[in-house]
């Protein structure tokens, strides 16, 4: 599902114009990005959490050049779904 699909679905279900829904979705995504860039997690009860994870410094190898490089400690965004979200996906997705 793409962002356009999400906008269409919300517009269809709520009756709100697509352009308004698109601006709202864009504003939501921007708010999440801004919050995570300031190292503040975003918690959406019943849906999940957008969190910042810290990756430790590690040594990696470039096999083609046979060299070792050090990857410094860094932070990455991550999403942790809520238990209700996980349970809903487990019950509806067929293997």
Residue 47: inside a domain: no
Within-domain flag for 27? yes
Mean pLDDT of 42-66: 94
Q: Give the model's confidence band at 92: pLDDT under 50 very low, under 70 low, under 90 confident, else very high.
A: confident
DSSP annotation string for 19-74: HHHHHHHHHHHHHHHHHHHTT--EEETTTEEEEEEEEPPEEEEETTTTEEEEEPPE
Q: Determine, yes or no, domain membership for 72.
A: no
| pTM for the full predicted model | 0.78
Domain count of the chain? 1
| Domain extent at residue 19 | 1-40
Average pLDDT over residues 33-42: 96
Domain annotation covers residue 13: yes
pLDDT above 80 for 95: no
């Amino acid at each position: 599902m793409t962002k356009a699909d999400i906008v269409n679905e919300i517009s269809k279900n709520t009756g709100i114009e697509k352009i308004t829904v698109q601006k709202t979705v864009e504003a939501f995504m921007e708010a999440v990005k801004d919050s995570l860039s300031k190292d503040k997690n975003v918690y959406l009860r019943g849906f999940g959490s957008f969190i910042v994870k810290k990756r430790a410094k590690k040594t990696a190898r470039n096999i083609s050049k046979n060299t070792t490089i050090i990857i410094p400690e860094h932070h990455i965004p991550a999403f942790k779904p809520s238990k209700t979200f996980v349970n809903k996906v487990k019950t509806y997705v067929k293997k």
